[in-house]
Amino acid sequence: MLSSDRLRIVLAASEAVPFSKTGGLADVSMALAKSLDTLGHSVTVIVPDYRQLRLSKQEQRPDVADTELRFSLSMNGRYVTGGVNWTMLPDSGVKVLLVSQPDYFDRPQLYMEDGQGYVDNCARFCFFSRAVMEVCQQMVLRPDIIHCNDWQTGLIPALLHSQFAGRPGFENAASVMTLHNMAFQGRFWSPDMPLTDMDGSYFNMHHMESWGDLNLLKTGISFADQITTVSPTYAREVCTAEGGEGLDALLSYRRKDLTGILNGIDTAIWNPESDPFLPASYSVQEINPGKAVCKSALQERMGLPQRDRVPLFGMVSRMSDQKGFDLLAECASRLLFDDIQIAFLGTGDARYEDYLQHLAHEHPSRVAVYIGFDEGLAHQIEAGADGFLMPSRFEPCGLNQMYSLRYGTLPIVRRIGGLADSVVNVDPETLRAGVATGFVFDDYSSTQLAETVERAVELYRQPNVWEQVIKNGMSADWSWQNSARQYVETYRRAIERRHDRAADNRQ
Ligand code: ADP
């Protein structure tokens, strides 16, 4: 690679494994960083230094050192000091910078406790976004690209466009804003505007304001040079009233700068041939006995009867309205009429947690629930289950269906967002063509979900066909290389657009 082709990329995110994780964003940010590094680019990831880092298990804990950089930001008239710790990601050239500010980030959770967002979330993530700019400047990172992710970093493109526009170190910097989930927008009341350090005149419907509120995701979309979403189908959906969550008009207006890039998965971490969380390994060449051993161990761990010929469905998910738990509740008695087992892992809304625990209590030989966050169990469910449930209301990309495909566990999904882009429905034609990988339904309806699970159960009774579908899914390539290349193309478009903008400003 010529040095001029080598981009200096700063990837700013509110979570990244192995430092912090509440959902897919954490997997995506680090896996993308590693792949960009493999492609030869210089990558620095900047994340908040949460308490989760210090609580992580000793063996996972990377060595972190203090850079001794300190900076102070005026947060609505009050000076708040931050620091920066750093580490290298093992086996890569990716540098990770952790913005420390104990009052903001040393808390039991990342964003909320007991279902309530922290009241100062606007201050916390305006501080983080401003800190990213400060760190870029003071550590002379001279980024070509600042890649921002979700509302927590939505302020960055605006800062780059305004007070940082002409500053040394930012001459070539363009911004890319990735929308991982439009449901979370970082909406705050207007008196929080000074926390952004932006001129008050930007508090208008074309830039930072939405229905009277400060909206940090909208801010990112308005100012970024390029916008991406995490699947091509979701990129179309966010431009519609149904999927745009109130920002569809703005996204339609920016349609030519909007690209959908399907996430990859970390194929080193999610690999049934070498997964340390599993009691046995397996591969597409030799599925059993490894997968059968995983199934039996999962049944044992979850307290379900250890039977090998009963279809076992898994679900690993935040327990929220997005994920289709209301559909499951509506059709649970119909589903459980069949001889099936279901293993749930997740945390979230108390009503869904309570409901599933109640269901498990009523049907102890069919339903098992683990409420909590457990990385190992997530892997064991992906491996040990026969089918995987994702009846989501919306799903920007979704990672679990790709993990399932890789682990030979057939996904049952709704035809939306990234699910539509990654699972091929079983039907006579796709079976004949050898491309069927799972079960897909269209409407957000419990009847369709129940019918689709029944279709899966029926196919499960034809082991040869079932195994062929497993093999189709396991053979697919979900690695990040392809997605990372598409991001690099988007970065180059962002740089071009930034040059055009700079030229316009000079005229
Ligand atoms: P989302 O980002 O909307 O939560 P994704 O499917 O994109 O959904 O990613 C979810 C990620 O979080 C997956 O890696 C999944 O395995 C993991 N996950 C979700 N809930 C849990 C849990 N309770 N325990 C362990 N891992 C979980």
- Tens-digit pLDDT profile for residues 417-431: 999 999 999 999 999
Task: Please indicate, yes or no, if residue 195 is contained in any of the structural domains.
Answer: yes
Q: How far is the CA of 364 from the centre of ligand 1 (A)?
A: 25
**Residues 300, 156 within the same domain:** no
Residue 271 lies in a domain: no
Please indicate, yes or no, whether residues 134 and 159 belong to a single structural domain of this protein: yes
Task: Tell me the residue ranges of DSSP E strands in 181-291.
Answer: 187-188, 209-210, 213-215, 226-229, 258-260
300, 258: one domain: no
User: Is 39 in the same domain as 188?
Assistant: yes
- pLDDT for res 115: 80
Cα(295) to centroid(ligand 1), Å: 20
Rounded (10°) angle between helices 290-302 and 375-384: 130
User: How far is the C-alpha of 346 from the C-alpha of 130, rounded, in Å?
Assistant: 33
Report if residue 274 sits inside a domain. no
Whether residue 485 is found in the same domain as residue 378: no
Nearest ligand 1 atom to the CA of 400 is 6
Q: Are strands 312-319 and 387-390 parallel, antiparallel or unpaired?
A: parallel
CA distance 441 to 381: 22
Alpha-carbon distance of 150 to 145, in angstroms, equals 16
Cα maximum dimension of the chain: 74
The residue nearest atom 17 of ligand 1, judged by CA position, is 23
Contact 457, 313 (CB under 8 A): no
Please enumerate in sequence order all residues whose Cβ is within 8 A of that of 421, keeping only pairs 6 or more positions apart, or say none: 231, 232, 233, 262, 397
Query: Quick one: average pLDDT of 231-244?
Result: 97
Q: Which amino acid is at 193?
A: M
Whether 280 is covered by a domain: the verdict is no
- Same domain, yes or no: 228 and 321: no
254 C-alpha vs ligand 1 centroid, how far in Å? 30
The 10 Å Cβ neighbour count of residue 367 is 24
Q: Say if 491 falls within a structural domain.
A: yes
Answer yes or no: do 332 and 426 share one domain: yes
Q: How many Å lie between the centroid of ligand 1 and the Cα of residue 24? A: 6
Place of tokens 């680019």: 41
Q: According to the model, what pLDDT value does residue 507 have?
A: 66
Pocket mutation for ligand 1, best pick of 22, 30, 318, 388 (most atoms within 8 Å of C-beta): 318
Go through 392-417 and write b for each residue having 16 or more CB atoms within 10 A of its CB, e for each that does not: bbbbbbbbbbbbbbbbbbbbbbbebb
Q: Is residue 58 scored above 60 in pLDDT? A: no
pLDDT band at residue 3 under the 50/70/90 scheme: low
- Closest by CA position to 345, among listed 329, 357, 334, 363: 357
Assign 316 to helix, strand or coil: strand
Query: Is the CB of residue 179 less than 8 Å from the CB of residue 230?
Result: yes
Is 98 domain-assigned? yes
Q: Which atom of ligand 1 is nearest to the CA of 21?
A: 12
Compute the average pLDDT of residues 133-154: 98
Position 226 scores a pLDDT of: 98
Answer yes or no: is 270 within a domain: no
Residues 162 and 241 placed together within one structural domain of the fold = yes
Q: CA 335, CA 344: separation in Å to the nearest integer?
A: 15
Domain containing 468 equals: 290-475
Q: What is the pLDDT of residues 347-370, one digit of tens each?
A: 999 999 999 999 999 999 999 999
Q: Are residues 324 and 228 in the same domain?
A: no
Residue 490 contacts residue 226 (beta carbons within 8 Å):
yes
Return the ∠ at Cα 380 (arms to 374 and 385), rounded to 5°: 125
The whole-angstrom separation of Cα 24 and Cα 28 is: 6
Establish whether the linkage from the previous residue to 168 is cis, with ω within 30° of 0: no
Q: List C-alpha distances in Å: 427 to 239, 311, 386, 436, 474.
A: 30, 20, 18, 7, 18
489 and 172 in contact (C-beta within 8 Å)? no
Q: Which range, of 138-147, 319-328, 412-421, 494-503, averages the lowest pLDDT? A: 494-503
User: Do residues 139 and 30 both lie within one domain?
Assistant: yes
> What CATH number corresponds to the domain at position 430?
3.40.50.2000
- What pLDDT shows up at residue 91? 83
For residue 275, being part of any structural domain is answered with: no
CA of 334 to the centre of ligand 1 (A): 27
Question: CB of 338 within 8 A of CB of 366?
Answer: no
In the chain, the number of structural domains is 2
Residue 96 φ/ψ, nearest 5 degrees: -115, 125
Which residues have CB under 6 Å of ligand 1?
Answer: 23-24, 27, 316-318, 345-347, 373-375, 378, 397-400
CB 414, CB 438: distance < 8 Å = no
Q: What is the pLDDT of residues 313-338, one digit of tens each?
A: 999 999 998 999 999 999 999 999 99
Instruction: Note whether 294 and 411 are same-domain residues.
Output: yes
Do 251 and 363 reside in the same domain of the chain? no
* Phi, psi of 5, rounded to the nearest 5 degrees: -85, -15
